Amino acid sequence: MNAIVDFNKVCKSFGDVEILKGVSFQVPKGNVVALIGRSGSGKTTALRCVNGLENIQAGELQVCGYAMHAGNIDLLQLRQEVGIVFQSYNLFPHLTVLENIMLAPCKVKNMPKPEAEKLARQMLDKVGLAERADYYPEQLSGGQQQRVAIARSLAMEPKLMLFDEVTSALDPELTGEVLRVIESLAQEGMTMVLVTHEMSFARSVADQIIFMHHGVVWESGGPEILSQPSTPELQQFLSNGL
């Protein structure tokens, strides 16, 4: 199995609070993995470790060939290969949509502006916002801003995309338009890790679902575990509609 991400007994604490307690799982190339669980279960912390936003204290973590546990990796290079989209859009308000997307390819990759603009327009088209290129973020809905944030990450042409509860601040209609973009990326074979509370979406798009509970992988499997959970904890989590 060609794993893009490989957690091996990863531990992470904040002060005296142990958040990840020996987490192990793999994300094969081209797969979509959904991390689910209650708030505080460790799923967002695990995601942030993948992008180097958090350092691990024990275990081993390989991401796109980088040994994250080694502690001496080139984070700038890593983040060209690993895109991340948060629940807050973090767009620059003084730049147009097109300029927001062009910024990283120009600054980080030293891409010529004409090439960066062509790429940015392709990414906007991919997320269904080609006609919004000259708009400013404040002129867009929340769902549109989140799709621009996705396009901005895609413009770096990453090997792996991470999504941290990207629809949690959106109403159901706007949630749908963002999830359709992610679904199309899955169909194109993009390797993705999603932290999500959208169970129906996880069921339809994920190859593997990982239920985290008290900082460990409590249960994992294909989408069928949402219909036939084998642990009382997952059963209770699903019955609460979280």
Domains of the chain, first to last: 3-35+50-197+204-219 (3.40.50.300)
Q: Is 23 within 8 Å of 193 (Cβ atoms)?
A: no
Structure confidence at residue 97 (pLDDT): 96
| Nearest alpha-carbon partner for 206 in 35, 8, 29, 1 | 35
Q: Which residues contact 36 (CB under 8 A, 6 or more apart)?
A: 43, 195, 196, 197, 199, 202, 209, 210, 211, 212, 237
Q: Is 85 within 8 Å of 57 (Cβ atoms)?
A: no
| SS3 of residue 88 by DSSP | coil
Residue 85, CB half-sphere, CA atoms under 13 Å: how many?
A: 30
Q: Over the stretch 173-201, which tens digit does the pLDDT of each residue have? A: 888 888 989 999 999 999 999 999 889 88
Confidence of residue 242 (pLDDT cuts 50, 70, 90): very low
- Give the chain's end-to-end CA distance (angstroms, integer): 32
Strand partners, 61: 7
Structure confidence at residue 240 (pLDDT): 79
Average pLDDT on 116-136 reads: 94
Residue percentage of the chain with pLDDT more than 90: 79
Q: What is the dihedral of CA 221, 226, 231, 236, to 10 degrees?
A: 150
Whether 71 has a pLDDT exceeding 60, the answer reads yes
| Nearest alpha-carbon partner for 205 in 1, 36, 47, 8 | 36
Q: Mean pLDDT of all residues in the chain? A: 92
**Of the listed ranges 49-63, 65-79, 108-122, 183-197, the one predicted with least confidence:** 65-79
Q: Per the confidence metrics, is the pTM higher than 0.85?
A: yes
Tokens 């959904």 belong to which residue? 34
Q: How far from 188 is each of 32, 109, 193, CA to CA, in Å?
A: 11, 24, 15
Q: Over the stretch 80-106, which tens digit does the pLDDT of each residue have? A: 899 999 888 889 999 999 999 999 999
Structure confidence at residue 241 (pLDDT): 61
Whether 209 has a pLDDT exceeding 60, the answer reads yes
Q: Is 128 within 8 Å of 156 (Cβ atoms)?
A: no
Tokens 């980088």 belong to which residue? 66
Whether 170 has a pLDDT exceeding 60, the answer reads yes
- Which pairing describes strands 208-213 and 32-36: parallel, antiparallel, or unpaired? parallel
Nearest-5° Cα angle at 126, 197 to 206: 30
